[in-house]
Amino acid sequence: MNAIRKSLTRPRRLTQLAALTMTAAATLGSAYAQTEAAAAAPGNYAEFQASTMTGTTNTINVTWLPVVTATGISYYNVTLPFTVNSSGGLTAGKPQVVPAPVPQTSSFRAGNYVGPANVGGGKSLISVSGPGVAPDGSTVWTLAASPGGWIYSYPDSATWYVVGSLSSSPLASRLQAANITSMDYSYGTVGSETFNIDNNWYTGTLIGVSQVGNALTIVSFTNYSSGKDQSTPVDQITYTLTQ
């Protein structure tokens, strides 16, 4: 009788072993395929540490996730659902990945710009560089006065950020304090001033930047007289892309 039991249970064990082997092979094959896919795209990576992660019931939400490739930076929103099984364990569902909404002010263009004819005799020159990625994951752009241009070109240097919402801006607390709510601009600060040529463009001034076509408009939100930011611009200048 024992011999019969053993002969009956052995095929069952062999079947289970075969199933486990097939599962392991499939898992390894999947891992290998993923490794091969990753190897086919060297230098591509996602910066989860720079995204905003929140949790709702049974769900992890990742917003404004930067994905860096050789061609630039893209942003995605990721939703990862979970279910709680009867044993109290967690089972991950299928993640949903969609492109993050891109604000209108993301259409900046790197290159050399010239100021209006009535500023520095039309020789106010700046150079715009970007895009880059800030530590918090926002897209960062910079500008600097170009050599050979009017020595009083302003702002002499500046940095601004493209974000999905003002609350995710590195300058969120400052924008809130100034009661600035418009997404018509990307906001940043002046890095240096040019010989105090214009009081509204001194170091640390809060600026808003937008671009339509070849026209780059920079506005100042900091009132030099009061030393405070305000919700409406106190000054502005528009540069035009030359190359």
Which tens digits make up the pLDDT trace of 123-163?
999 999 988 888 777 789 999 999 999 988 999 999 999 98
The reported pLDDT for the residue numbered 4 is 42
* pLDDT at site 87: 87
Q: Give me the pLDDT at residue 74, please.
A: 78
Flag whether pLDDT at 85 surpasses 80: yes
Compute the distance between CA of residue 183 and CA of residue 106 in angstroms, rounded to an integer: 11
pLDDT (0 to 100) of residue 41: 58
When pLDDT is averaged across residues 202-227 and rounded to a whole number, the result is 92
At residue 113, the pLDDT reads 97
Mean pLDDT (the chain, rounded): 79
Task: Measure the CA–CA gap between 202 and 195, rounded to whole angstroms.
Answer: 9
Task: Give me the residue spans of the domains in the chain.
Answer: 1-39, 45-99, 104-241
What pLDDT, in 10s, does the model give residues 165-195?
Answer: 888 899 999 999 999 988 889 999 999 876 6
Query: In this structure, how many other beta carbons lie within 10 angstroms of the beta carbon of residue 156?
Result: 21
Q: Give me the pLDDT at residue 65, please.
A: 79
